[in-house]
Chains A and B, each alone.
Chain A
Amino acid sequence: MSLGGGERREELTAPPADRLGAIESGVGTDEWVARVDERRAAQKGIGGAIARWWERTPPFARLVVLLGPFAIFPFITNSGNLYRYGLLTLIYALLALGLNVVVGFAGLLDLGYVAFFGFGAYLYGIMASGHSGHHLQAEIAIPIVVVATGLLGLLLGLTSWRLIGDYLAIVTLFFLQAFVIFVNNANGGLNDFSYPFVGKVDLTGGANGLDQIDPLNFFGWKIHTTKGYYFYTLIALALLMIMLFFVNGSRTGRAWRALREDPLAAEVMSVPVNRLKLLAFIFGAATAGFTGTIYGAVQGGAFPGDYDVGLLITIYAIAILGGLGSIGGVVVGALIVNGAPELLRSSSNARYLFYGVLLLALFVALRPWYKPVIVLVGTIAFGYAVHGIASLVWSRGTAGHISGAGGFGDALEHWVLLPSRAGSLAGWAYFALVTAALVLTLVRGWWRVVVLIPTLYLAAFVWENKLVEQVSGATRLIMLGALLVVIMNVRPSGIFGTARVEIV
């Protein structure tokens, strides 16, 4: 048999008629692959319906849906709550928006981001505070801060010309640490650096912070209420979201995303990669610097401890939770990351969240639908049975009470064991719960359903007897962690993120 070229070429020039037909109509396996997403979208239940509705909504209507509730919030709450839930959430959202440009669009892992936020607050404080003795108007000070932070961003961004990924991350993280050390020490003390022209001056107030920062003062109009700052920040956020939306759809946004996907291909496709990296850094830094002026003015001071790795992680969590590269996602991310721990300060709220997350996790993790239902019914029955038996033989075991949870609390009292003095028993139960959770990961199929029932009951027991007491402390953070784990499992690319493919 000959495998020579002549034969093969003949076959090449004359493909079978049926194949030609398929090609002309554009239908093939290729087509089937391309429509996987559509089919998947069509199958989903409520989640799919919401996602499709969101897809159809025009961009400006989305903005109203996202920020509308924020505009109403000040009228239904007091100023303490407005600060804690409202203003801080908006400030976080602004920060995450700037981070989103650097990390989400351009794909540059910038761990020094929070330094720009601090730099903005300190620089504003230096230009307008009782501490420094200067009192510049905000309409002059803010542009100066934005430009100066942008320049600082440019300098840090220069490192991204040669460094990518992990290497860029450690260099920028070092920059953040250097910033924190600098503001901690630049107070005109003995060891302090002598500046050109002015000599030794107290620039930052050192570890005590820079105090007496002026409120924002535009053309003589002072903002001095939380509500005022709230609306100022809300408007800034809305404007920035709109502008970023346009930039994202423009040549610059496309170039950023192209550089995130493949810097080399972007460069050969006429994108000046280095310039765009700098642009992303400048954009992010300027946003953070601007936000810093708000935060400094609201607090009336700038303190070195505020601009540390803890905040960096929070902002990253917001951006990732909302969906990297998604503009609307930062608002929802900020709401969850900032709002959830605040809500958890009250034990009855925390209780609802605890049982809610358990329920959600159950229905997400177990398929098909009847398995979680069986587990749920089984757990409830199991609880009442245990409670019934205990009330006959161990009267102390059901003596406790749940306060302040209304009808739900009353129902719980007849279900979960509440010993009058739980003490070491709760500790042992905690230990047993962790063991049961580990066993759960080892068993499969129906065994998992069987083991889940006592495990869930054990979880409720541990929660009611041990964790709920410490809800304003460590438990709160454990709960937040658990919530984030559940959300990221349900939507791995963030709430608003689109699934990204790395290598295909």
Chain B
Amino acid sequence: MPLLELRDVSKAFGGLQVTDHLSFDVGEGEIVSLIGPNGAGKTTVFNLITGIFHVDSGAIVFEGEKVSGLAPHRITDRGIARTFQTLRLFLNMSVLENVMAAQYGHTKATVLESMLQLPRSRREEKRIKQLAEEKLAFFGQRLAGYRHGQPAYSLSYANRRRLEIARAMATNARLLLLDEPAAGMNPHETHEITELIGKLRDEAGYSILVIEHDMHVVEGISDRVIALDHGIKIAEGTFDEVATHPLVVEAYLGVRAEAEEAV
């Protein structure tokens, strides 16, 4: 049974069909890349999976249970977490707090318990602080101890991307949705991110669905590649299969002039 399954999912904004009868799945421990030109509907797919948008028809199934229709925070509680293409950190909170905030769904202390510092509240605080530190330790020197108390806005762009991944990890997710993790990074940082994504799967055991424009990254990490255009899946398979697929080439480069004339 696949971990995540999209069954015939459609979504339209007014007359614009942004996702059209889309079906695909992500297996346990798999890294799947979602590619396609700008406006192909890749981020919309993420918004549908995380519940920010509601599907018009079809179903999204996670671990055998339907999650489409649930509120976003419930879907996150089930084990799906995402990062954003345009970074959306809690900039005025500390690095550690950013990660700790993502444990809200897995803590239970009520306001009254926190107010009076009852045992459960203190126990939970200790636990999630430790958990947040563990998640940040995954990034080694980059988000090392002395950084924890600093506000998130003091981080560089690349470190903000890392912090977003750490925050997503802290939701106890099993599936990570990474929206262009290498966007805006220099070649060296891009390389680091590529290795990191591999490590996330191999060492931390996450399954990953990633949107990426950088074909080197896609080639380096993907078990499987899915290409979208105008909300329709146009190709699926290994990187080489998809990269040479005529529809994918057409979507990215357009139809050659003489070919058009021939039609």
Contact = CB atoms under 8 A, between A and B. Distances in A.
Interface in B230-258: none
Interface stretch (B1-9, B21-29, B116-124): B116-124
Interface in B198-257: 215-216
A270 B153 contact: no
B141 A26 contact: yes
B102 A269 contact: yes
Contacts, number: 142
B62 to A, nearest CB: 14
B125 A250 contact: yes
A56 interface: no
A32 to B, nearest CB: 10
Contacts of B141: 23-26
Contacts of A498: 92
Contact of B111 (A33, A247, A258): A247
Interface string A246-264: 1101111111011001101
Contacts of B150: 34, 37
Contact of A270 (B77, B90, B116, B151): B77
A268 B73 contact: yes
Given A13-B191, A247-B114, A270 B92 contact: no
Interface residues of A, number: 48
B154 A12 contact: no
Nearest to B98: A258
B93 A257 contact: yes
A30 B91 contact: no
Contact of A26 (B90, B111, B144): B144
Contacts of A247: 111, 114-115
Given A30-B156, A246-B117, A247-B114, A267 B91 contact: no
A23 B151 CA distance: 21
Nearest to B111: A252
A266 interface: yes
B103 interface: yes
A50 B8 CA distance: 63
B104 A254 contact: yes
Contacts of B138: none
A251 B89 CA distance: 17
Contacts of A26: 141-142, 144
A128 B73 CA distance: 45
B76 interface: yes
A258 B102 CA distance: 9
Contacts of B168: 269
Contacts of A257: 90, 92-93, 97, 101
Contacts of A283: 111
B171 A250 contact: no
A498 B159 CA distance: 22
Contacts of A272: 71, 73, 104
B84 A265 contact: yes
A9 B218 CA distance: 13
B52 A12 contact: no
Interface of A: 5, 8-9, 11-13, 15, 19, 23-26, 29-30, 33-34, 36-37, 243, 246-247, 249-255, 257-258, 261-262, 264-273, 279, 283, 498, 500-501, 504
List the 5 shortest-distance A-B pairs measured between CB atoms, nearest first. Answer: A270-B105, A250-B114, A30-B156, A261-B90, A265-B88
Given A5-B216, A267-B71, A501-B92, 9 more contacts: A250-B109, A251-B109, A258-B93, A261-B93, A262-B88, A265-B84, A265-B89, A268-B82, A504-B153
Interface of B: 50, 52, 71-73, 76-77, 81-82, 84, 88-93, 97, 100-107, 109, 111, 114-117, 121, 124-125, 128, 141-142, 144, 147, 150-151, 153-156, 158-159, 167-168, 171, 187-188, 190-191, 215-216
15 contacts: A8-B187, A12-B216, A15-B188, A30-B159, A246-B117, A253-B114, A254-B93, A258-B101, A261-B93, A265-B90, A268-B72, A268-B73, A268-B82, A270-B171, A500-B92
